[in-house]
Amino acid sequence: MLLPSTKTQFKKNQVPWNKGKILVPLDEQRRKINKRARERYAKDPGKMRRKNRAKYQKNRESELARGARYRKKYGKEIKQRIKDLTLEVYSHYSQTISKSDVPVCACIGCGEKHIEFLTLDHINGRKSMNHGPSLKAEKLCRRLKQDGYPKGMQVLCWNCNSAKSNDPFCPVHEWFKYKQKNS
């Protein structure tokens, strides 16, 4: 383990903001700055949001260009992170509901395993978990992971999820249940 130095290394042609008079290691300074920023934000989140929104609107064109450059440079890594996150969340809910290590549709008789066809389903509806209509795909996965994988979600294939939206069960696979009872 390397000990932090008391002198900061600057890139070529980079001018230090404090003229090189760093008395504490940079990582410690950054922790203090971040702590103060979190405290300011906690005092009045609305004020900070308005301030950041105004700053974004003022520099909208440059921010859009910066975002486009970032997506162009790191597009593959972004897509891979999203796939990894999706796989992690789907695997967790498949494990708890379907007792399967591989993401699989929780509907009886379906067994769809292609992750491209799988979706997350709110068992008791979106409103029961306070998820608005704008919370989709990646944001939903991030929120579920951040909240510690709350109960009330399941993995379904697109067909079962769509069919379930009109009925409390999946009519596509109801015949499977009927066949199992009569066998």
Q: Map out the domains of the chain as residue ranges.
A: 26-75, 80-177
DSSP string, 117-181: GEEEEETT-GGGGT--TT--HHHHHHHHHHTT--SSEEEEEHHHHHHHTTSSS-TTSHHHHHHHH
pTM of the model: 0.64
pLDDT for 28: 84
pLDDT for 19: 59
Dihedral pair phi/psi, residue 23, rounded to 5°: -100, -20
- Residue numbers in the chain where pLDDT is lower than 70: 1-26, 168-169, 171-183
Q: What is the pLDDT of residues 105-114, one digit of tens each?
A: 887 777 788 8
Are 170 and 107 spatial neighbours (Cβ–Cβ below 8 Å)? yes
